[in-house]
Structure 1
Amino acid sequence: MTPAQLRAYSAVVRLGSVRAAAAELGLSDAGVSMHIAALRKELDDQLFTRTGAGLAFTPGGLRLASRAVEILGLQQQTAIEVTEAAHGRRLLRIAASSTFAEHAAPGLIELFSSRADDLSVELSVHPTSRFRDLILSRAVDIAIGPASESCHGVDGSLFVRPFLKYQIITVVAPNSPLAVGIPTPGLLRQQQWMLGPRRAASTERSLPCCGTWRFQNHTSESFRAMPLHSRRSGESVVSR
């Protein structure tokens, strides 16, 4: 078994299809299928079959799925530890949500890393839905961002600790129709919303007057996608 084969298989298991795995890995469908075929031949196990409901895994396929994540994680961890030993430094890999990475991470990371001269910090931005997979595969050491259901390890595989609270607010120009009274859902729906510097994969927000609100693509933009004067002139609503 090679790392490339295990990465391909692990991606198929996680994403549920060869095509999705190929897109994530930057390979062709045939390339991923070739890796799967090699594993099947070496292990003498079909691993999984396609059904109308998706992929059905054999007992051996399920066992390989868990082992593949462990093996790939250990391989990456070993490479990091060898590099650290050679250069006399330690590396802390942090996954963060886009909001945390922009507003809180720089100051907190600088403060934390200043306590240890031999510590290097690597920050990467990911959707919170990927935090669990990143931790379990040892791609990162810690993930920081809004809590989600996928982050909680019911089997004790993850440790989750809240340490910072924040709330989302909306800001409009003084001459905006939203600045007076309580806006109706219809009026909110007509506005151009600016949801953040990197619009999240999920465009749902919780608004006090309306509960959970799903924004359509044509009514939401990123902060950097529109000029500053559009915010001051009342052409858009900033949601943080």
Structure 2
Amino acid sequence: MDTQHLQAFVAIAESGSFSAAAERLHLTQPAISKRIALLEEQLKSPLFDRIGRQVALTHAGQVLLSKATLILSEVTAAQRAIADLKGEVEGKLSIATSHHVGLHYLPPYLREFSKQFPQVKLDLHFLDSEQAYHEILQGRFDLAIITLALEQDARLQSHNLWHDQLHFVAAPTHPLTAQSYLQLADLSQHPAIMPDTNTYTTQLVSNLFVTQNAALNIGMVSNHLDTIKMLLSIGLGWGILPKRILDNQLTILDVVHEPIMRPLGCIHHKQRSLNNAAKMFLQLLHKENHSITPTASQ
């Protein structure tokens, strides 16, 4: 089977449409359709049911999908292993990162890496940490640099790189800013603006409220911390944000609690061999180099 035909098949299966797959692979839709037609002719079985503009895998397609994903993964691994035998740092480095880490921590490292290894093509994707975690488990990226999960999957290798200290904050005009020695139960009386409840950050905060038998009253949700910062700054609620992005638009609330530290770091799949580019990037992340510091909040 031609790997290009398998790539087209997997792209359609994952995206749910021929047009989305064509865009993903930078091909025309007729080119994608031709590849699938040739693959179906070779296998003598239809792989997709066409339902309007959407497609669904046939039983044969379902059988092929897991095999095709494995084949493509092995082909990529073989190509990378042969290239790495030369000892050169080149090829593509695919990285998934959260918006917060990507905007406030990674820029100096990406800049230094691209300066040292200009022949490497950086393939950067901004995803929620939880989605990036899932993508790494599926073997779709070399590295993910994200908020680390509270419980790590045994299939992943984790590198703890930084700690985000989180603070309870609100607009200077919010009634909570006028009170001292706040308990978590006091915060329960006012709506919070938080990331989605399935995010690692909100799970961390929720666990803290549970230990004090207090209710976490979430009134609004956004997974982008800079969006939460804006909503808080206009007085729509209280929230919890990393110290790095705080400024005079927000006031740190006087809440009695243990420091809340959110671990940030890098993960990769243990069964996916890292190419030279990924190894060098990891080495750069770990490097004790005072000239490379995370981007400060503006």
Place the TM-score, normalised by the shorter chain, in its bin. Answer: 0.5 to 0.7
* Alpha-carbon offset, residue 163 of structure 1: 1.0
Q: Alpha-carbon deviations, 1:177-227, whole Å to 9, x = none?
A: 233341236x316xxx486xxx9x97983443445958347xx87636987
Report whether the alignment pairs 1:160 with 2:157.
yes
The answer as to whether partners of 1:13 and 1:65 remain within 8 angstroms in 2 is: no
Pair 1:148–1:124, CA change in 2 (3 A): same
Q: What is residue 122 of structure 2 aligned with on the other side?
A: 122
The answer as to whether partners of 1:95 and 1:142 remain within 8 angstroms in 2 is: yes
Moved more, 128-137 or 35-44: 128-137
Q: What is residue 169 of structure 1 aligned with on the other side?
A: 167
* Alpha-carbon offset, residue 23 of structure 1: 7.9
Q: What is residue 8 of structure 1 aligned with on the other side?
A: 8
Q: Secondary structure at the match of 2:171?
A: coil
Pair 1:18–1:94, CA change in 2 (3 A): closer
Pair 1:72–1:143, CA change in 2 (3 A): same
Q: What is residue 104 of structure 1 aligned with on the other side?
A: 105
Report whether the alignment pairs 1:188 with 2:191.
yes
Q: How many residues align?
A: 213
Q: Secondary structure at the match of 2:147?
A: coil
- Distance in 2 (alpha carbons) for counterparts of 1:105 and 1:203: 20
- Distance in 2 (alpha carbons) for counterparts of 1:162 and 1:2: 37
The answer as to whether partners of 1:22 and 1:28 remain within 8 angstroms in 2 is: no
The answer as to whether partners of 1:6 and 1:68 remain within 8 angstroms in 2 is: yes
Q: Secondary structure at the match of 2:107?
A: helix
- Distance in 1 (alpha carbons) for counterparts of 2:10 and 2:217: 34
Pair 1:96–1:32, CA change in 2 (3 A): same
- Distance in 2 (alpha carbons) for counterparts of 1:168 and 1:21: 38
Report whether the alignment pairs 1:141 with 2:157.
no
Q: Which runs of 5+ in 2 are unaligned?
A: 242-298
Residues 1-240 of structure 1: pairs in structure 2 closer than 5 A: 1-2=1-2, 4-15=4-15, 17-18=16-17, 21-22=20-21, 25=24, 32-47=32-47, 55=57, 57-58=59-60, 59-71=63-75, 77=80, 81=83, 89-90=89-90, 92-107=93-108, 113=113, 117=116, 122=122, 124-127=124-127, 128=129, 129-133=131-135, 140-148=141-149, 152=153, 158-164=155-161, 165-166=163-164, 168-179=166-177, 180=179, 181=182, 182-184=186-188, 187-188=190-191, 193=193, 205-206=202-203, 207=205, 208=209, 209-211=214-216, 213=218, 215-216=220-221, 223=226, 231=233, 234=235, 237=238, 239-240=240-241
Higher RCO, Cα 8 Å, sep 6+: 2
What percentage of residue pairs aligned between the two structures are identical? 19
Pair 1:21–1:117, CA change in 2 (3 A): closer
- Distance in 2 (alpha carbons) for counterparts of 1:212 and 1:41: 57
Q: Secondary structure at the match of 1:174?
A: coil
RMSD after superposition: 5.1
TM-score (norm 1): 0.57
Structure in which a larger fraction of residues adopt strand? 2
* Alpha-carbon offset, residue 42 of structure 1: 1.9
Q: Which runs of 5+ in 1 are unaligned?
A: none
